[in-house]
Structures are given as structure tokens and as C-alpha cells.
Structure 1
Amino acid sequence: MDKLDLTKTDKTYYGASKKPELIALPVLPYLQMTGSGSPESDAFKAAIEAMYTAAYSIKALCKQAEQDFTVAKLEGLWWVEDMSLDPLETPRELWQWTLLIRQPDYVTAAIAEEGLQTAMKKKPHMPVERVSFGQLSEGTCVQMLHVGPFSTEPETLAIMYAYIEEQGLAISGKHHEIYLSDFRKTAEESLRTILRYPVSK
């Protein structure tokens, strides 16, 4: 039985380069969980654990049905409630986020719900009840690979902002990060993160 690995089969989604580029994305299915607060907080760490617990429960169901897959990379949407403020100058405790783990197209709402119920029973101490299954439609996006610590992201974002302006585009959605590296285990200077923004004319 072949195992689906989205990071290998979807080069557009996971294959950003070190230069900004325009891509077009279809509507895609995800596990998702929304919260607020600093990424260093215990609540954020618990949210990550809950997301992976849910993802692996769904993977187990699909494997039983001979549709095994590799659990996809963790992703995050980030924003602040007052969009007139610079997020990087806003206290991290006020940051809003939605964690995402992309799902294969064959994962249905029914499969996801069964997996979530199993995960809640298996790990009742985790906030799995806050994980849901849904879709994200970002359409046309600008993305770029950032290599290094999160603290130097503004340098990469500045290049992206200039490119967006040059193309006559405007940001039309939330700051999106795809964590190609496990930031819990990888040295900061080696972190690889895709930065993405939905854009429109």
C-alpha cells in the first residue's frame, strides 16, 4: 500500500523558493483550531499536541481503509484584532492564531468526526474538543521560503511586501506560515518556514 505524502506530491503548496512567487490554490481540507496568546504559552503547546493527536487518529482510520498517508506539516494563521496595529509591535499575548494541519482530499467530514471522537476518548486531558474539520480557500497567494529564526521574518516579509506592491496587488487575507521544520526540535538558524499571503488586485 502506497502512503500519500502531500509534501512530496504537492510541490506548489510545499515547494516555496527563497524568492517571492505567485501561486494559485484550490479549496483545501484541514484540521483547525483557533486561539489566542503567545506561541510560547502552555495553551499554545497544548493546542499543538491536540492537533497532532487528532491528525494521527484520522490517519489510523484511513490506514485501516487502505488509504494511509503521512501527517502533513503544522501550519498557522496569525493576526491581531486591531488591524491598524503592527502585529510585531503588539504584545504577543494579544496575538490571534489558527493552527492548521492539511488533510488528504479523501478525508471527509464523517471520517474526521470519527477520528476526533476517538482522539477525545484517548487523550481527554487535551483540548481536542476545540479541533474541527473545515476548508480554507486562499486562491491567489504570494509565498516565499524563510530560513532562520522567527525573529528575522520581517526581513523576508519586507521582500514579499515589495513584490506584492510591484505586482499591483494587495494583501487580502491572514499571514500564513507553514512549518517545514519542527520548531520544537530544530535549531533556530536551521528553521525552514513558508510565509504566505492571499492577495488580490
Structure 2
Amino acid sequence: MDKLDLTKADKTYYGAVKTPQLIELGAISYLTCTGRGEPGGEVFSQAVEALYKVGYAIKAICKKEARDFTVAKLEGLWWFDSDLPAASFPRVEWNWKLLIRQPDFVTSGNVEQARSQVVSRLSSAGQVSYEALSEGSCVQMLHIGPYSEEPASIARIHAFMTEQELRQNGLHHEIYLSDSRRTDSSVLKTILRLPVTDVRQNHK
């Protein structure tokens, strides 16, 4: 039985390079868990655990149906209750929606079955949702290095957007290609992505 690995199968989604590039994305389904608090803190860690427990339960259900897959990388949408830079906010005030992408063949029934299995032993699994996001046009690039150095890469993305007459049209999106628990911070790989819209089209 072949196992689907979305990281290898979808080069547009996971194939960011070290310079900003414009891509187009359609509707994609995810497990999600929304919260507020410090990255790596207790609430954040509980959300990650819940997502992965449900994600692996879905994998087990699908494997029995001869549709095995590799559980996808953790992702996150980030936002703040102001337009001020992120550095202006204490980390405990950061808002996030954590994501784990799901294959197209996963159904809402699969998700509900998996969530019901997990919630009996992990109550936080009840906070896991299943939803589709459609980000459309996006600018993305691969950031290599510590999370603390992301602002320099984000500045490059914004410079590219200015050159191309694009403006942000959605939440800051990160895809964590590396496991920060097992990878030196100097070589962490993170895709940074911003949904955008063409300023010129909006002025027509």
C-alpha cells in the first residue's frame, strides 16, 4: 500500500526557496486549534498534543481503509490585537491558530470518529476543529535559522510585496519543516507565508 506524503506530493505548498515568491493556493483542509498565549507555553503545548493525537487517530482510521498517509507538518497562523509590530507585544498576548493539513480523502466523518476516540482520554481534543482555508495568492519564502531572526525574512517578503504592488490579505502563516526539539536553531527550516492581493486590481 502506497503512503501519501504531502510534503513530497505538493511541491508548490512545501517547496519554498530562500527568496520571496508568489504562489496560488486553492481550498485546503486542516485540523485546527485556536488559542492565545506564549509559543511553547502550556496552552500552546496542549493544543499541539491534541492536534497530533487526533491527526494520528485519523491516520489509523484511513490506514484501515487502505488510504495511509504521513501526518503532515505543524503549521500556525499568527495575529495580534493591534497593528503594532509583534515585538511590541508580550508573548503571552500572541493569538494563534495551529494547523495540521489533511489529505483530500479525509472526511468530516473520519475526523469526528477520531476526535471521539481521543477526547475520552485527552479532553483538549474536544477543541480540535476541521476546516478548509483558501488563502489564494500568497508570497512565501524559506527562513533558515532561529525563530527570533524571522523579522529579517519577513522584511524581505514585504519589500517584494512593495515591488510587486501587493498588500497583505490574510494572517501570517508559518509551516514548521523542522522539529525544534531535535534540530539546532541555526538550521531550523520554516516557511513564512502571507496571503496577498494585487493593489492595482483593487484600484480598477
TM-score by length of 1: 0.96
2:152 aligned residue: 155
Pairwise mapping of residues 67-78 of structure 1 onto structure 2 (< 5 A)?
67-78=67-78
User: In structure 2, which of residues 140, 143, 146 is the aligned counterpart of residue 143 of structure 1?
Assistant: 140
Pairwise mapping of residues 177-188 of structure 1 onto structure 2 (< 5 A)?
177-188=174-185
SS where residue 161 of structure 2 aligns?
helix
What one-letter code is carried by the residue in structure 1 that aligns with 2:169?
Answer: S
2:192 aligned residue: 195
Question: Please, what is the CA RMSD of the aligned residues?
Answer: 0.8
Pairwise mapping of residues 76-115 of structure 1 onto structure 2 (< 5 A)?
76-82=76-82, 84-115=83-114
The CA deviation string for residues 93-144 of structure 1, in whole angstroms up to 9 with x for no partner, is: 11000000000001111111111111112x32x5111001111110000000
Specify every segment of 5 or more residues in structure 2 that has no aligned partner in the other structure, as ranges.
199-204
Aligned residues: 198
Question: What is the deviation of 1:52?
Answer: 0.4
Question: What is the deviation of 1:40?
Answer: 2.8
What one-letter code is carried by the residue in structure 1 that aligns with 2:161?
Answer: I
TM-score by length of 2: 0.95
How much identity, in percent, do the aligned residues show?
53
- Stretches (4+) displaced over 3 A: none
Q: Which moved more, 1:140-149 or 1:180-189?
A: 180-189
2:55 aligned residue: 55
State yes or no: 1:7 paired with 2:4. Answer: no
What one-letter code is carried by the residue in structure 2 that aligns with 1:15?
Answer: G
1:17 aligned residue: 17
1:34 aligned residue: 34
Structure 1 Cα separation of the partners of residues 184 and 49 of structure 2: 20
Structure 2 Cα separation of the partners of residues 88 and 7 of structure 1: 31
1:132 aligned residue: 129
User: In structure 1, which of residues 174, 178, 186 is the aligned counterpart of residue 171 of structure 2?
Assistant: 174
1:117 aligned residue: 116
Structure 2 Cα separation of the partners of residues 156 and 95 of structure 1: 20
Specify every segment of 5 or more residues in structure 1 that has no aligned partner in the other structure, as ranges.
none
Structure 1 Cα separation of the partners of residues 54 and 186 of structure 2: 30
Structure 1 Cα separation of the partners of residues 34 and 81 of structure 2: 13
